[in-house]
Amino acid sequence: MRVLTLNLWQEQGPWAERLDLVAERLPSLDADVICLQEVRHVPGRVPNQAETLAAKLGYACAFEPAQPWGGGDEGLAILSRHPIVERRCCDLPRPPHRERRICLGAAIACPEALTWVFTTHLTFRLEDGAIREQQVRAVDTFVRSRGDAAQTVAVLAGDFNATPEADEMRYLRGLTSIEGERTYYQDAFALCNPGVEKATWAKENPYTAQLGWLAPGRRLDYVFVTPERANGAGRILGSQVVLDAPDARGVWCSDHYGVLADLQVNPSRT
């Protein structure tokens, strides 16, 4: 399975041109599953961005609104070239009067192996590490709640708004505990590129200047996979940062770059 995650940056900047550029570049990436964050749908003004991309690719689409925005909705989506046979969503912890955050899951009927894919978008403020710690705990519980968790591989991808050394990300990578609890997911990019740090929120991308008060040059977007099993299921085969260059007009796909990962979801034949 090839998985891509990308924050679409809603309707900011030249959004129509950006969405066209994303649609133009997606076929060459040949992703089986695409996880999208900051997806906008404003009736009469912005057609559902995830459904627009899915229609162009011929993919199935699961969209879940997270919060009302600008007369419409902003949310998460999972696109798949294989049928989506089940979907689930959970709310994540948040302080009162703060934006709603969710995690969306979809069961993908891949050849030989039903695979659950989850996507999320955590709170973004630099001082919100403690909130993100609560959110990753909730996300982990949600991923583990799938009915066949003991037998199957799951993918968790999205914009986590935290760098690899943050406690909330160290928790997902099995490097620290939160409230006495531990878990473990494989960080696809880190495993395939040891010693390499590649920003997905990069100062070279002019669109990040709109939120100039946030520190640039950070890896915020991830593809995680549950632990590899003895039969080879869950093995990470490769990962890279993609959609990280403008077109000839100077249009970029988003203020974030995407992350692509190849993984083995079914048991090895060898």
For 63-82, what is each residue's pLDDT tens digit?
999 999 889 999 999 999 99
φ/ψ bin of 217: left (φ > 0), alpha (ψ from -120 to 50), beta (otherwise): left
- Label the pairing between strands 186-187 and 221-225: antiparallel
What is the residue-averaged pLDDT of the chain? 95
The model's pLDDT over 74-112, given as tens digits with 9 standing for 90+, comes to: 999 999 999 999 999 999 999 888 899 999 999 999 887
The pLDDT of residue 70 is 86
CA distance 109 to 80: 9
- Give the sheet arrangement for strand 33-41, strand by strand: 60-69, 72-80, 33-41, 2-7, 258-264, 235-242
What percentage of residues in the chain have a pLDDT greater than 70? Answer: 98
pLDDT at 149: 67
* In the predicted structure, residue 3 carries a pLDDT above the cut 80: yes
Residue 112's pLDDT is 74
> CA–CA separation, 117 vs 156, rounded Å?
6
Closest to 243 (Cα-Cα) out of 255, 253, 235: 253
Answer whether residue 185 shows pLDDT above 60: yes
Tokens of 243: 């959609």
pLDDT range class, residue 51, cuts 50, 70, 90: very high
pLDDT score for 224: 98
pLDDT given at position 96? 84
Indicate if the pLDDT at residue 270 is higher than 70. no
Q: Is residue 118 pLDDT above 70, yes or no?
A: yes
Q: What radius of gyration, in Å, describes the C-alpha atoms of the chain? A: 17
- Res. 233: pLDDT tops 60: yes
Query: Mean pLDDT over residues 254-265, rounded?
Result: 97
* Residue whose pair of structure tokens reads 């799951």 in the numeric block: 154
- pLDDT reported for residue 266: 84
- Section 187-213 average pLDDT: 95
Query: What integer is the mean pLDDT of 169-180?
Result: 97
